[in-house]
Homo-oligomer: A and B are copies of this chain.
Amino acid sequence: MPAGGPEQGTTGALAPGQGTRGGVLAQYFPILEWGRGYNSSILTSDLVAAVIVTIMLIPQSLAYALLAGLPPVVGLYASILPLIAYAIFGTSRTLAVGPVAVLSLMTASAAGAVAAQGTELYLEAAMTLAALSGVMLAILGLLRLGFLANLLSHPVISGFITASGLLIATSQIKHILGTSAGGDNWPDMLGSLAASIGGINLWTLAVGIPATAFLFWVRKGLKPLLVRIGLPPRLADIGAKGGPVIAVAATILAAIIFDLGARGVNLVGAIPQGLPPFALPSTDLALIEQLWVPALLISIIGFVESVSVAQTLAAKRRQRIAPDQELIGLGASNIASAFSGGYPVTGGFARSAVNFDAGAQTPAAGAYTAMGIALATLFLTPLLFSLPIATLAATIIVAVLSLVDLKTPRLLWRYSKADFAAHMATIVVTLLVGVEMGVIAGVAVGLLLYLWRASRPHAAIVGRVPETEHFRNVERHKVFTVPHVLSIRIDESLTYLNARWLEEYVLERVAEQPEVRHVILMCSAVNEIDASGLESIEAINHRLGDAGIGLHLSEVKGPVMDRLLRTPFVEELNGRVFLSQNRAFHELSMNGGSEAVPPADMPRGMI
């Protein structure tokens, strides 16, 4: 939306959470920031967006609750208080929080491991997941640990989303067929579906297949149609989002007319009317012990998904979000969800984009949406009695298949084999074992590959480019060297992950070149030397010293040298520290190579 960009941006170009204007209080309560400039024109924009999002959210909330294995009304509960909590604590102006597909699947998997669907305990487990996840997110935010979400690389996230999309779509086939089947991964799901194939209900099929087909057409064909009949593209886009509402209305009518409930078609049935109940989340320690790992994974996946949506939208208006405060905002939302009979929530892509496109200006739009859902919960639920479950399943299937991304693996294969490996490992483990192990495997593979690379940093033996003071890799350039001086350029900071490598690399190069009497480590690219790196250089120094070889450093950066000088290292060095590689090479190569370690009276340390 470049058109609306810069103008709107001027009202909110600086992020809340910066402390530049509102101080600490406004950092933790962004509402104090945007609330001050609230006026009737912003109110109108927010209200319009809220109405549109509310209409879109009602069928979606019901469907995601179904996906989570919960009563449909729980989806509505999870779309009221959490939005208000986010409006107070969140930093994105346009993020719309609520139940989303992937977290619903993860909730089903985690709660299903402790209780059977439909039981009291299952419901309690879902609420406990929201409570745990809320507390974890808030703690991560207060401790400013948002960087831990970095452990999920883009290839892992996209692999996880693709595999989740496939799992979710597969899990809904039973509702279209009218059979019952279960499973947390593909082998179980497909086996269970195959076993249930005899129980297909044709009436259910007669609702499910047309609904799915219609919704697919809505995604592809409704917008062009609306444009053709004269709607501006942006409105047509929003209008097309109303497709599920049409499907819901049409199938409710069909269910009533043909009395589908009596013909074995599962209907939503009676939804308790009224506002969400105030509920205390469980304090059962055994339950918490079983659920904390999935809750942590739900927190991180939810955070990563939400932050990337929020960042994308904020950037379009030159606004900013504060990721650590976002953790607090999402934490508050999930705690609110747990206390009002809901389940884990986060910022969803589709609804946030609709909210943004519909012109929402502030998080107040989310609060108005919450009121809209609350009104629906109070008055509309009787209308949904005859809604076929198959319709909700169709909306889920159509929504999640857009998550399946077949382009990424090809791009990754061409761009980076390591990233491709992490991506495929995530997909395969998620499909074959389940969502939790999928995320864990993705993180583990990514970290393993990273550590592997970090343990083999780039380094090169360098020589002097003739007629210059420049030193370049001997393998790539015609350069001048002498056999008794070995110059090694290290292209990375020295940390514990590569400290052992450094020892091996240097000692190996020395072993290969028996004439060496001086080793120069050229440190121009070394931004940091941690304690392990220091110990490794000390060990190299002692080992080379024992073998009668001098160790010298050149081009050490100022801050690195300052810290080295606080240790006995420079004094103990069997050689010198040179400001420039050129000077080091010049002096040491002059030095004929006849003497081994410099004699004790030669000036040591900094020159």
Q: For residue A211, give the distance in angstroms from its CB to the closest CB of chain B.
A: 34
A458 pairs with B527, CB closer than 8 A = yes
Q: Which bracket fits the contact residues of A?
A: 35 or more
A511 pairs with B13, CB closer than 8 A = yes
In the bound complex, residues from chain B placing their C-beta under 8 Å from that of A15 are: 508, 511
Give the segment of A49-57, A93-101, A254-262, A544-552 that binds chain B. A544-552
A150-188: contact bitstring with B at CB < 8 Å (1 yes, 0 no)?
111111000000000000000000000000000000000
In the bound complex, residues from chain B placing their C-beta under 8 Å from that of A535 are: 154
CB < 8 Å neighbour of A511 from B316, B318, B455, B500: B318
B153 pairs with A496, CB closer than 8 A = yes
Q: For residue A215, give the distance in angstroms from its CB to the closest CB of chain B.
A: 28
Give the segment of A27-35, A220-228, A445-453 that binds chain B. A445-453
CB < 8 Å neighbour of A5 from B491, B546, B566: B546
Q: How far is the CA of A212 from the CA of B14 in the complex (A)?
A: 69
B2 pairs with A547, CB closer than 8 A = yes
B450 pairs with A150, CB closer than 8 A = no
Choose among A6, A320, A500 the residue with the greatest number of B CB atoms under 10 Å from its CB.
Answer: A500
CB < 8 Å neighbour of A495 from B312, B450, B543: B450
B548 pairs with A510, CB closer than 8 A = no
Q: For residue A506, give the distance in angstroms from its CB to the closest CB of chain B.
A: 10
Task: Tell me, yes or no, whether A503 is within 8 Å of chain B by CB.
Answer: yes
Q: How far is the CA of A298 from the CA of B156 in the complex (A)?
A: 31
Copies of this chain, whole number: 2
B507 pairs with A315, CB closer than 8 A = yes
A419 pairs with B531, CB closer than 8 A = yes
Q: For residue A122, give the distance in angstroms from its CB to the closest CB of chain B.
A: 29
Choose among A323, A419, A531, A544 the residue with the greatest number of B CB atoms under 10 Å from its CB.
Answer: A531
Q: A455-B150, A567-B415 are in contact. Are A547 and B450 (CB under 8 A)?
A: no
Task: Tell me, yes or no, whether A285 is within 8 Å of chain B by CB.
Answer: no
In the bound complex, residues from chain B placing their C-beta under 8 Å from that of A512 are: 14
Q: A2-B547, A2-B548, A6-B548 are in contact. Are A531 and B153 (CB under 8 A)?
A: yes
Q: For residue A455, give the distance in angstroms from its CB to the closest CB of chain B.
A: 4
Q: What are 28 pairs between A and B in contact, CB < 8 Å?
A: A2-B546, A5-B548, A14-B512, A15-B511, A147-B451, A147-B452, A147-B455, A150-B455, A150-B501, A152-B496, A153-B496, A307-B500, A311-B503, A311-B543, A312-B539, A315-B544, A319-B511, A323-B504, A411-B531, A414-B566, A415-B531, A415-B563, A416-B530, A416-B563, A419-B531, A453-B528, A491-B527, A492-B527
Contacts A150-B499, A315-B543 aside, 9 further interface pairs with beta carbons under 8 A come to A5-B547, A150-B501, A153-B496, A311-B539, A323-B504, A411-B567, A446-B496, A450-B495, A492-B527
